[in-house]
Each structure stands twice: as structure tokens, then as C-alpha cells.
Amino acid sequence: MMTNIIVSSFWRAFPRKSKPGRCIRNPGEDATEGETMFQRLKALLSRVEADYADIRYEVKRETSIAFEGNELRHIGANQTDGFVVRVLYKGGFSSVAFTKESEGERAIRVAVENALLISKHTSRPVELAKAETVKGVFLPELEEDPRQISIEEKLELTRDYNNLPLRHEKIATTAIGYGEVIREKYFVNTEGTELREDLVTTRLGGAIISKDGDLVQNVRVGLGGSHGFRLLRGQEEEFEKKTSLALDLLKAKPVEAGTYDVLLNPGIAGVFAHEAFGHFSEADLIEDSPTMRAKMQWGAELGNEVLSITDDPTRPRQLGFYYYDDEGVRARRTPLLKNGVLVGRLHSRRTAQSFGEPLSGHCVAEDYRFPPIIRMGNIFIEPGEERFEDLLSRLGHGLYLIDHMGGQTSGENFTFGAQYGYRVANGQLKEMVRDINVSGNLYRTLKNMVGVGRDLVFSKTGGCGKGQINIRSCHGAPHVLVLQVVIGGR
């Protein structure tokens, strides 16, 4: 038996055209090596007898460093690689992952056999939407390539940041780490597309934990992005700011439970855009639910007219940036909600064909072990015209809520934690409050979002656990004024 094959099967369909991206080749890029890999992948695909097939090869490089308090708990780096082949045959769609090129023929045979088996047992044959044929190398413009930075230097920077909070008496401990994930991808399909793209992700941060008697407070700090190592340098002020917050929270009072008008800062408003709204914009999560498909029809008036939400993986320098998704489809700016009206959806080739809607380029895999699934890139609430001070004045009396601390959704209902907040009276910030839980209904909350600021901010670190882990899932928002929000507290 073959030991390094992971089989996953798909029972449905695929969409349309996009414009080619900018082709970049680094000065040090070995063109011969790249061409050789394309030839090897095409040679494997030439053995497939099917309606469609694609293959993705990746080298994945990871570096991680972790401190707990003063102790260095982990430091390491590794490199792995592997392949994923997908086959569409007679309406059945199958995927096989394998780790050795010598296993390619057998993996392809398994994928074809599984696709044929699926085709005999599904009432909804898979169809793939037409996609543009593209050839090119797409490499990010980096400000210091982390592959060129020694692990000793990464350790020193992480240790320096970790030590900053520990100088304070009431900081009990920290959990600060450095993480780096680099995916060097090659993609070839039977339609003629040949792509090479690198995704470079760096992040540094974790938790700062303060303690006073029995009271413990946990504050998250995070730096990171997709455009190089330099963005992690010179961030001492951010760590000092978060340390001061952890100490201030020891003196803050728990919020009083009730229903409030609230002003959300960009951090927690962006999480709402991702968790409460964004997942319902992913076609695969609603395609088998007649109720959700009815509610999420294009043209449905879901939100207040001041509210617009977009997903745009093409925004440069943001965490969720990429040129092409893992189906070889060009990423596109995709408006989802425009002045409160649903106008778009995120798709794979399969779901775009099934829904009869345009391709968006939002089908992404965690790495070479997985076939791609629909994921958000950079989802954000579009900025409005109002200044922060004007939104505070409009709020009058209520709460100003800042950043998020986890949360969950259940259908159209959600619950999030806020890191902290301030009571607001007569449009002025008053005392700090903590232990804040925010809950509500998606559609009611969309209608109650009555004011949108001009100060759009994107998250520096991200993550989404839908099916697979996507460390580059990014969210953004300006300040947003929301009426009648249920707040849990003491």
C-alpha cells in the first residue's frame, strides 16, 4: 500500500476570467530550476486521462521561537515539500496529496479512480467554471527577506521584545514568540496555466499577563505581515503600550451588563466583518442551506445604507495579499455589501459555476497537504466620512469597545469578547472597563450600524480555522457606531 497519500474528494462544481498579474522575477531566481519544475509537473499531468486536472507542488519553510516568561521554550526551523493533484472525470472531482515525486503516477491513478467512483454516486456532477490561462512567476516585493535573516538575529529580536514587559513588577509572565511561514508554490493545469508564486508570512507577538492578588489580565500583542522582516523592527513602543494596558486593566472595573449603543474600534469591527458576516459570504458554507441561500441572495438589503464590506486580496502590503489563488485563478477585489445591499460572494471555480456567479480568486489551501477551499483574503468594512470625535459625539452615552478576545458564531448569532473599553458620557471618554462580552444577531446588527469612520486599519496578524488553518486571513475596518448592542458583564 502507498503510505504517503491523503485522499479527499469533492462532490460538486467550478467560474470565469481575470486579468494577468504583474510578473516579477527576483534577481537571484534560478529560471532554469523553475522551468525544470514546470516540466516535471507537466510530465506528471500528461499521464492523466480526465476532463481536467491540476497539480500543485510546494516547498514549505517554517521558523518558530517561543518564550514563556524568561525561559526560551522552543526554537527551530524546518523545511518540507509535497504535491497535491486534483482530477475532474465524468462529473466526479477528487484530490490526492503525496510527498514523493516517485508516487506521482500512483497518486494520479488513485485520483482518477476516486473521481470515477464519485461520479457514479452523486446527483450533482461537478463542473468547473472557465478560468483564464496564465503563465508567470509572481514573487512578493519584500522589505528584508526573512530567508536572509539568521535565526540568531530573530531570536535576539524576540528576546528583546519579550523582556520589555517583564521589567514591570505586576507582569506575572509572558508568552511571546516569532513565527515565519514561507510557501514556495508551483501550479500547473491541463488548461495550460503555469504559475510560480511565493507567500511569505512573518509574525511576532503573543500574550502579556498581569496579576494583582487573584486578579489576572491577559493582553494580546501582535506584529506581522506579508512584506518582509523589516516591519518587525523598531516596535518597542507597541510592546510598551500593551504592557501599560495590561497594568491598567488591573485597576479597571468590570462592565455592567445591559444593552448599550457602542462605538467599535477597527480591531473589533474588523473581527465582526470576518466572523459574523464574512463566512456567510463564502459560497461553500451556504450552498447546501436553502434558508441561508434565500437570505444571502444578491440584491438583499441586509445592512444600513452607510455600510459597505469588501474582500480584496490584491491590496499590497496587507497580510492577506496574493496574486493567484491555489486554483490558479487571479485574485480580485470583490465587493460583498454595497450601501447595505448584498452584491457579491467569494468563490472557488466549483461554486462559481454552481451559483452562476463570477470567479473571485478566493480558493486557498493551508499548504501542500490540502486541496484548496474558499477563504477570505483581506476582508474589511469600507471607510466612511466621519471623524472619531464626531462618532463619539453621536454616541453620546454608551461604550467604546476596543479590540477582540476570541469569540464564536452559531448560525446568524455571534458572541465576541472585547479586550477592554471605556464608558462614554456626553460624548466624552470616561473610566476604563473590562470583562466585556458582545453578543447579537448578524442581520439586526448590520441594520444597527449607523455610523462609519474614515480611519480604515487592517490587522497585522490573522488567522482562520475554517476546515484548514489560514494564517494570512486578514480583516480591517474603521470605527463603527452600532445601536442597541447586548453586553454581558457582571
> Residue 28 pLDDT > 70, yes or no?
no
C-alpha to C-alpha distance for 167 and 422, rounded to whole angstroms: 27
**pLDDT above 90 covers what percent of the chain?**
91
The secondary structure of 303-331 as a DSSP string is S-TT--EEE-TT-TTSTT--SB-TTSPBP
The secondary structure of 316-376 as a DSSP string is TTSTT--SB-TTSPBP--EEEEETTEE---B--HHHHHHHT------EE-SSTTS--EE--
Per the DSSP assignment, residues forming a β-bridge with 424 are 398, 429
pLDDT score, position 8: 35
> Residue 26 pLDDT > 80, yes or no?
no
Where are the domains positioned within the chain?
Answer: 6-248, 253-488
pLDDT score, position 411: 87
Quick: pLDDT tens for 361-380: 999 999 999 999 999 999 99
pLDDT score, position 27: 36
Strands 135-138 and 171-189: unpaired
What the block records as the C-alpha cell of 332 is: 480580485
C-alpha to C-alpha distance for 389 and 428, rounded to whole angstroms: 9
Residues 6 or more apart whose CB falls under 8 angstroms from that of 404 comprise: 267, 268, 271, 416, 417, 418, 419
Q: How confident is the model at residue 34 (pLDDT cuts 50, 70, 90)?
A: confident
Average pLDDT in the chain? 93
Q: What's the DSSP call for residue 383?
A: P
Q: How confident is the model at residue 266 (pLDDT cuts 50, 70, 90)?
A: very high
CA angle 270-312-387, nearest 5°? 45
Q: What's the DSSP call for residue 91?
A: T
pLDDT score, position 440: 95
Residues 6 or more apart whose CB falls under 8 angstroms from that of 440 comprise: 413, 414, 485, 486
Quick: pLDDT tens for 88-145: 999 999 999 999 999 999 999 999 999 999 999 999 999 999 999 999 999 999 999 9
Longest dimension (CA), the chain: 72
Residue 60, phi then psi, degrees to nearest 5 = -115, 125
Quick: pLDDT tens for 403-456: 998 778 888 999 999 999 999 999 999 999 999 999 999 999 999 999 999 999
Question: Does residue 404 sit in helix, strand or coil?
Answer: strand
Q: What is the residue whose three cell numbers read 512578493?
A: 140
Q: How confident is the model at residue 19 (pLDDT cuts 50, 70, 90)?
A: very low
What the block records as the C-alpha cell of 246 is: 495590561
Question: Does residue 133 sit in helix, strand or coil?
Answer: coil
Q: How confident is the model at residue 490 (pLDDT cuts 50, 70, 90)?
A: low
> Residue 15 pLDDT > 90, yes or no?
no
**Residue 250 · residue 217 · CB < 8 Å:** yes
**Residue 85 · residue 55 · CB < 8 Å:** yes
Pick one of 3.40.50.800, 3.20.20.70, 3.30.2290.10, 2.60.40.1180 as the CATH number of 6-248.
3.30.2290.10
Q: What is the residue whose three cell numbers read 456567510?
A: 280
What the block records as the C-alpha cell of 275 is: 466572523
C-alpha to C-alpha distance for 402 and 438, rounded to whole angstroms: 11
Amino acid at 312: D
Residues 6 or more apart whose CB falls under 8 angstroms from that of 235 comprise: 161, 204, 223
> Residue 166 pLDDT > 70, yes or no?
yes
C-alpha to C-alpha distance for 455 and 444, rounded to whole angstroms: 24
Question: Higher confidence at residue 462 or residue 456?
Answer: 456
Per the DSSP assignment, residues forming a β-bridge with 82 are 58
pLDDT score, position 25: 45
C-alpha to C-alpha distance for 436 and 467, rounded to whole angstroms: 28
**Range 237-262 average pLDDT:** 98
**Range 311-321 average pLDDT:** 96
- What's the Rg (C-alpha) of the chain? 24
pLDDT score, position 30: 56
**Residue 343 · residue 485 · CB < 8 Å:** no
